[in-house]
Amino acid sequence: MTISVGDTIPDVKLVKATDNGPEQVQASEYFKGRKVALFSVPGAFTPTCSARHLPGYVEKAADLKAKGVDEIACTAVNDAFVMGAWNKDAGSDEITMLADGNGEFAQATGLTMDGSGFGLGQRGQRYSMIVEDGVVKELNVEQPGDFSVSSAEHMLGQL
């Protein structure tokens, strides 16, 4: 079953990429008591993700926070080391990288995709959501190959 607006974020472990190395976080604690702009990409360092998706959130971070977002987070079915390296290469301190190395978060939300044809295996779909106190308030899932409704610009229009 795919997560919907009004649902609570699944309580699985994610791994936060930090300067001190990987840090496990429980989703229920991470999202508790704040507004988080979460976006998901099929993979760090992949073309659309690196050229458009992450840069849009880096560019619009101050605007999102000015509209009440407490934290901006990116998730992908990658390990914390890859997510941390990607953030250092193309991201910003304004973006928190939440690694979903085993795809448990993607599976629990029902937002997976099969990238086997490209050698990627099972991944998370491209989407964005606004999560308030652990509850999904907005959910924007892209059609395969598209990039529009999960962008920072689209999210700004929803806030």
What single-letter DSSP state applies at residue 159? -
What burial letters (b/e) apply to 68-89, b meaning 16+ CB within 10 Å?
Answer: ebebbbbbbbbbbebbbbbbee
Give the largest CA-CA distance in the chain. Answer: 40
49 given a catalytic annotation: yes
- The span from the first CA to the last CA of the chain, in angstroms, equals 26
Quote the CA–CA distance of 118 and 114 in Å, as a whole number.
9
Quote the CA–CA distance of 130 and 20 in Å, as a whole number.
27
Q: Which of 9, 36, 49, 69 is catalytic?
A: 49
Q: What share of the chain is helix, strand, coil (3-state, %, to 5)?
A: 35, 30, 35
Catalytic residue numbers read 49
